[in-house]
Each structure stands twice: as structure tokens, then as C-alpha cells.
Amino acid sequence: MDRRTLFKGLLALTVVGQVEAAEPTAGAVADLVPLDNELEKYPRCVVCNMDRRRFHYARHLTHYADDHVDGTCSLECTAEMMLRERRRGFKAIYGPDFGADGEPKPLVDVAAATYLLGSRLPGTMTRRSKYVFADPVAAQRVRQEQGGELATFDEALAASMAEKAEQLGRRYRNDQERLRRKKDGAAG
């Protein structure tokens, strides 16, 4: 095979791959009413496969500009999906109103919500908890009981991303140390 034929074939595969990457996930259907029966439609986290019904108090739902929807178990997994799918654009992101009575917690638009970060409440997929409140007064009440700090969605997202960066750096250092020990063991 000559080089021109090879390069044309590689170029065609690259273009096809880019077109496919821009399309919604295979089998995905646009969801114009993502909040209706969302736990039945999106029962598992798309990142870690955790049961979103079990973690209803931490789950999030991302509605993209193309009307595709992803359900996640926590803000940590939402941050990862936002990073992966950032080119899609976002219509809305919803989180559970921890201040609401009953289960499952109703979802609210995080753009208008207040987050409680780092309280004594347990975290989901993180050591540093992050809870959503539709009512800032309810968030303040829980803060007085459980500690932590009040934040916007952007601040909570930044905290999640900083934690993810720390985890990845630690993983990289651990992997490098493991490879070094393996190399040293093979040489000795």
C-alpha cells in the first residue's frame, strides 16, 4: 500500500471518529422533560455506576444543549462528566434539595442553589461533603449544626475539581513509585 492511500484512510477514520464523538451517546434519546421520573430513567451513575436512588440526597442531573441527559450520583461525578462533555453545552444542572422533607429529595437548578461544603455530613464519592439547598436559610441552619461553609455552584464545582486534581496527582506519584520499585527489584 502506498503512503497516500494509507494517509487518506487514516484521515477518513479520523473525520468519522470526530463526527461520532460529536453525536450523543449511542442509543441516547433526547429528553425534553428530564425531571419527570428521572430516577427511573437514569437509575445509575454514568461515571461510576452507583445506584442514584440510594444516593438520592447527593445525585445530580445534567441536561445538555442537545437535550441529552446524564444522571450522576454526586457533584464529583457531575464535575467529571462536565469536563468530558463540555463541548456539548449545558442547558441546566440539577441537584437534590437537601433541605426538603421526604425521599427522594426533589431536584433544583444548581445555578440558584446554595451548597454546603465540608460539613460533618458524610460525603458521596469524596471526603469533603457537598450538599445542595434551594433555600439559603435552610443551608445556614444546617451549617450551624454541622459546620462547613456556604458556597455557590461554581465554588462547589471548583472544590470538586481541585480534589480530583489532587487525587490524580497522588495516583500518578504512586504509579511512578510502584514502577520505580519494580525496576529496582528487577535490577537487583
Residue of 123, 112, 144 whose CA lies nearest to 57 = 123
Q: How confident is the model at residue 186 (pLDDT cuts 50, 70, 90)?
A: confident
Interaxial angle between packed helices 75-84 and 153-187, expressed in degrees from 0 to 180 and rounded to the nearest 10? 80
| pTM metric for this prediction | 0.79
* 8 Å CB contact between 26 and 43: no
Q: Is 17 left (phi over 0), alpha (psi -120 to 50) or beta?
A: alpha
Residue keyed to cell 503512503: 3
pLDDT, tens digit (0-9, with 9 covering 90-100), for 4-40: 544 444 444 333 343 333 344 444 678 999 999 999 9
